[in-house]
Every structure is written in structure tokens, then in C-alpha cells.
Amino acid sequence: MTGMLASVNSLAEALLALSADVDIIDLKQPALGALGALDIDTVKQIVAGIDGRCP
């Protein structure tokens, strides 16, 4: 089985990814490198906005 992974760095991008029926949403800040972490407040906002609708 093949799935779609979307890397996002904002709630707006996460909601767009949800509307495209992605399978996995990955949170990262590519401007900080390949494994760039988002700040905790942004992560909390995205997680709350997704509300369990995507792994």
C-alpha cells in the first residue's frame, strides 16, 4: 500500500493537506534543516486544529 505524506509548518498548510486526503501529516520547519523542529506553540496549534483527523 502506498500513502501520501505531507510535511507542513502551519495550521493553514495542515488543513490544506487534510482537504487533499493525505495519509500522514509531518510537522517540520525545513528552513531549520532536514529535521527542523517547529516551536511548541505552533505544534500545539496544528495538533488542536487537526483534531485527530489524520495520523
Pick 53 or 44 by higher pLDDT: 44
What distance lies between CA 5 and its chain's CA centroid?
9
Which pLDDT belongs to residue 55?
Answer: 63
Query: Residue 19: which region, alpha, beta or left (left: phi > 0; alpha: psi -120 to 50)?
Result: alpha
Which pLDDT belongs to residue 34?
Answer: 83
- DSSP secondary structure letter of residue 30: G
pLDDT in tens, 2-47: 999 999 999 999 999 999 999 999 999 988 888 899 999 999 999 9
Cβ proximity of 53 and 20 under 8 Å: no
Q: DSSP H helical segments within 1-55, as ranges?
A: 11-19, 40-50
Pick 52 or 3 by higher pLDDT: 3
- The reply to whether the predicted model has a pTM over 0.75 is yes
